[in-house]
Amino acid sequence: MYAQMVKSTGKGIKPREEMSAQERAFQDRVDADERIEPRDWMPDGYRQNLIRQIGQHAHSEIVGQLPEGNWITRAPTLQRKMILLAKVQDEAGHGLYLYAAAETLGVSRDDLTEDLLSGRMKYSSIFNYPTLTWADIGAVGWLVDGAAIMNQVPLQRTSYGPYARAMVRICKEESFHQRQGYDIMMKMAQGTEAQHRMAQDALNRFWYPSLMMFGPSDTESVHSAQSMAWKIKIDTNDGLRQKFVDQTVPQAEYLGLTVPDENLKWNEKRGHYDFSQPDWDEFFDVLRGNGPCNTDRLGARRNAWEDGAWVREGLLAHARKKAARKTAAE
């Protein structure tokens, strides 16, 4: 998941009668659940919207390496270290497929990277929260990847072919990630008193930021409506958030942990849990760059990019020399 508040054309849905013949034909294909492929005609708004959404998703995978990478060198057993390495490697791989999917829309990975580093493009708010104990690595897998799956499973049916196909692969790996996170939480929650305390503390800190991952209520959002008409977005933010809460609360109970929400209650009539909304002011603060880790996360990515410039230039220069030598030899 990892796409929040993606801006669309900003104009809401175009009524059918205002569409050109080409636009109407396009919408008919989307409505018939046909996949749109890179060489097909598509409205500019659709293309721009997808670039923003896929790009934000890709950036989230890349920045998302940092909070988990923070614990790779301190993982408590060889097995845990291997699992975490494999997981973070998967995230980087997801970033790679997603950048590749975005490239089919006519934007380069380097352009997207520049946009991330300049702050023009965002990544998910969740990665601006710190991982302070080993239990946080469990909570990230359980809650953050759990929320991501909730959003990504429907995106396997998204209208844009390369994005949908990337999602199929990503979803398979994400469910392994979530299971390993829950497994860490189990060990911690059922472990020593200190471990249980770490587990509860991790849930306390990650609960509301996880709810924020779905984005604010979309009842008011023109962006959401257009994205849904184009099948770039399949479910509403509120619908997904409810589904996440309904799924996660019994899991927390099984762990013997308390969800930090006094208003959390099963609502027999609705068949859902009632729950408190996260602090949306905090969410907007994080988006504006004022989360606990924004500066460090972006700084780490900027350093990686800038310190690595000589490497990219060196390898490129070598590839050119090699090609020139080959031509000369022919």
Partner 1 sequence: MAGNDKDALLNFLLRMGDSALILGHRVSEWCGHSPVLEEDIALANTALDLIGQTQLWLEYAAEIQGEGNSADDLAFLRDAWDFRNFLLAELPNGDFGRTMMRQFLFDAWASILLPRLAQSSDPRVAEIAAKAAKEAAYHLERSADTVVGLGDGTAESHDRMQAALDYLYPYVGEMFLSDEGDAALAAAGVAPDPASLRNEYDALLKRVMNEATLELPDTRFTHSGGRDGRMHTEHLGHLLCSMQWLQRAYPGSTW
Binding site for partner 1 (CB under 8 A): 62, 65-66, 69, 72-82, 85-86, 88-89, 92-93, 95-96, 99, 109, 134, 184, 187, 191-192, 194-195, 300, 303-305, 307-319, 321
- Please choose, from the candidates 36, 137, 136, the residue with its C-alpha nearest in 3D space to the C-alpha of residue 80: 137
Length of the chain: 330
Distance CA 291, CA 38 (A): 36
| Two structure tokens written together for 140 | 């990230």
Residue 277: exposure state from Cβ atoms within 10 A (0-12, 13-18, ≥19): middle
Shortest approach of partner 1 to residue 33 CB, angstroms? Answer: 32
> C-beta of 118: minimal distance to partner 1 in Å?
18
Secondary structure of residue 265 in the 3-state scheme: strand
Q: Which is nearer to partner 1, 64 or 278 (CB)?
A: 64
8 Å CB contact between 321 and 313: no
Residue among 101, 181, 190, 184 at smallest CA distance from 145: 181
CB nearer to partner 1: pick between 195 and 251: 195
- Least separation in angstroms between residue 317's CB and partner 1 is 4
Measured CA to CA, the distance from residue 181 to residue 216 in angstroms comes to 26
Q: Supply the minimum distance, in Å, between the C-beta of residue 300 and partner 1.
A: 6
Smallest distance, partner 1 to C-beta of residue 96, A: 6
Structure tokens of 154? 């429907």
Decide whether 25 or 304 has the Cβ nearer to partner 1: 304
> Is the Cβ of residue 192 or residue 263 nearer to partner 1 in the bound state?
192
Closer to partner 1 by Cβ: residue 67 or 146:
67
Q: Which residues contact 85 (CB under 8 A, 6 or more apart)?
A: 72
| Minimal distance, residue 318 CB to partner 1, in Å | 4
Give me the phi and psi of 36, to 5 degrees please. -90, 130
Q: Which is nearer to partner 1, 74 or 265 (CB)?
A: 74
User: Do 167 and 160 touch, CB atoms closer than 8 A?
Assistant: no
| In the complex, least distance from residue 21 CB atom to partner 1, rounded to whole angstroms | 41
The Cα–Cα gap between 296 and 287 comes to 14
**To the nearest whole angstrom, how small is the minimum distance from the Cβ of residue 140 to partner 1?**
14
Q: From CA 84, how far away is CA 78, in angstroms rounded?
A: 10
Nearer to partner 1 (CB atom), residue 25 or residue 86: 86
At 113, which amino acid appears?
T
CA distance 329 to 130: 55
Nearer to partner 1, 91 or 235 (CB): 91
